[in-house]
A and B are shown apart, each in its own frame.
Chain A
Amino acid sequence: MKITLSQLPVGVDGTIVEINAPHELRERLYGMGFIKGQRVKTIRRAPLRDPVVYLIKGSEISLREELSSKIVIESRFFSLDLAIPGEYVVDSLVGGRRFLEKMRFIGISKGSRIRVVKSLSRGKYIRINNNDVFIPYRQAMRIVVEELPNE
Chain B
Amino acid sequence: MSNSHSYNKAEEIGTVVPSKYTSVALLGNPNVGKTSLFNALTGARQYVANWPGVTIEKRVGTMFYGDRAFRIIDLPGTYTLGATSIDEKVARDYLIYESPDLVVVVTDAMNLERSLYLLLQVLELRGNVILAINSIDEAKKAGIKIDSKELSKHLGIPVVLTSAFTGEGIGNLKEAMLKISRSGIHVHYLFPERIEKLISKLSSSLKLKKELENFDTRWLSIKLLERDEEVLKLTGIDPGADYSADIANSRYEFIKELLKDSYRDSEKHYWDLNTAIDHVVTHKYLGILVFFAIMYLVFQVTYSFAEPFTTLIEMGFNALGAFVDKSVPIPWLASLLSDGVIGGVGAVITFVPSIFILFLSLGILEETGYLPRAAFVIDRVMYSMKLSGRSFMSMLLGFGCNVSSIMSTRTISEPQERIVTILVSPFISCSARLPVYIMISSVFFGKAAGLAIFSLYVFSVLFTFASALLFNKLLFKGKPSPMIMELPRYRKPTIRSLMLYTWNRGKHFLEKAGTIILAASIVIWVLSYFPTGNILTSFASILGKSLEPLFRPLGFTWQMVTALIFGGAAKEVIVSSLSTLYGASSLPGNPGLATLASQITPPVAFGFLIFVLLYFPCFATIAAIKNESGSWKYVWITVLYGLGIAYLLALITRLIGGAFL
A residues engaging B (CB < 8 A)? 19, 23-33, 35-38, 43-44, 46-51, 53, 55, 57-64, 66-67
Contact = CB atoms under 8 A, between A and B. Distances in A.
24 contacts: A27-B226, A27-B244, A28-B80, A30-B245, A30-B248, A31-B78, A31-B118, A32-B484, A35-B245, A36-B249, A46-B377, A47-B282, A48-B381, A50-B379, A50-B380, A53-B282, A58-B111, A60-B271, A60-B486, A62-B389, A63-B482, A64-B383, A64-B482, A66-B482
Contacts, number: 123
Contacts of A51: 376, 379-380, 389, 483
Nearest to A21: B482
B79 A32 contact: yes
B265 to A, nearest CB: 8
Interface in B511-569: none
Interface stretch (B123-131, B192-200, B283-291, B619-627): B283-291
Nearest to A64: B483
A64 B380 CA distance: 9
A32 B379 CA distance: 20
Interface residues of B, number: 46
B204 interface: no
Given A25-B84, A59-B114, A60-B487, 7 more contacts: A19-B245, A27-B226, A31-B79, A53-B487, A61-B485, A62-B372, A62-B485
Contact of A63 (B78, B227, B271, B484): B484
Contacts of A44: 278-279, 282
B471 interface: no
Interface string B87-128: 000000000000000000000001101100110000000000
A51 B389 CA distance: 10
A133 B135 CA distance: 55
Contacts of A30: 80, 117, 244-245, 248
A-B residue pairs, 10 tightest by C-beta: A31-B79, A31-B80, A48-B380, A30-B248, A27-B82, A60-B487, A57-B114, A47-B287, A47-B284, A62-B485
A60 B490 CA distance: 12
B195 to A, nearest CB: 15
B486 to A, nearest CB: 5
A66 B384 CA distance: 13
B252 interface: yes
**Best-surrounded residue of B248, B271, B483 (most CB of chain A within 10 A):** B248
A35 B248 contact: yes
Nearest to B249: A35
B111 A23 contact: no
Contact of A28 (B79, B282, B285): B79
A50 B383 contact: yes
A17 to B, nearest CB: 11
B89 to A, nearest CB: 12
A26 B380 CA distance: 22
Contacts of A27: 80, 82, 84, 226, 244
